[in-house]
Amino acid sequence: MKNVWNLKNKSIKIHTMKNLFLFFFALFCLNLSGQVVQLGFKGGINFSNYKDGNIENVDYKNHTNYHGGIVAEVKIFKNLAIQPELLYITQGATLKQLGQELKNEMGYIALPVLLKFYLNDNKLSLELGPQASFLVSERNKVDQDNSKTFEMAAAAGLSLKLTNTLFISARYVAGLTEAKATSEVKNSAVLFSAGFLF
């Protein structure tokens, strides 16, 4: 039964990834036909941790990670845009118990889809929206087969365009669903990014 479940999850991941690449290819075609869409890349560091855990005598410490991927900006109105992203992001925490530390690092393919509200002169913007993530790798597992393969989160942050193409951003991502099957912890992360739009 477990093997059937794993095969089903793998099939869902492959199907989802195929749809994501088709989606960004469609955006690329829109970008060629007009300037309502900008495509680009972003990357940076993030500080992640677990929250709402119920493991006794365990302290969670921030873990420094990284992220990077593709970003698009689809203008709807002058001060409003939709910003879908396809990122590889590492999250997790350092768990400390009885003087011992164990880093639990999990790699996700993440799809944030954010509403982007420009606050002044199309430079500073507020970003809000959901994020769906698929677990693709894990290092230093705390419990074998304990990590969930799908996660939903909410993201909010600020972005500043330094030029027409170069931008920096800061974002907080709060997990809405548990990252582990038994401990009920949720991922949380603060991301600092720099990126380039064509």
User: Virtual CA dihedral for 5, 8, 12, 13, nearest 10 degrees?
Assistant: 70
pLDDT of residue 4: 42
Written as one letter, the residue type at 34 is G
Report the phi/psi class of residue 71: left, alpha or beta, with left for phi > 0 and alpha for psi in -120 to 50: beta
- Tokens matching residue 123: 């430079």
pLDDT of residue 163: 93
pLDDT of residue 60: 82
pLDDT of residue 2: 44
pLDDT of residue 33: 47
Cα(39)–Cα(83) distance, rounded to whole angstroms?
A: 10
Q: What is the residue range of 91's domain? A: 2-197
The residues with which 82 forms a beta bridge, in sequence order, are 74, 115
For residues 93 and 63, the answer to whether their CB atoms sit within 8 Å is yes
Cα(188)–Cα(49) distance, rounded to whole angstroms?
A: 5
Q: What's the structural domain count of the chain?
A: 1
- Tokens matching residue 185: 């912890």
pLDDT of residue 14: 56
pLDDT along the chain (198 residues), means of 10: 47 58 58 69 96 71 92 91 96 80 90 93 93 90 73 97 95 94 88 96
pLDDT of residue 16: 59
Neighbours of 170 (CB within 10 A): 14
pLDDT of residue 189: 97
Place of tokens 């912890």: 185
Write the CATH number for 90.
2.40.160.20
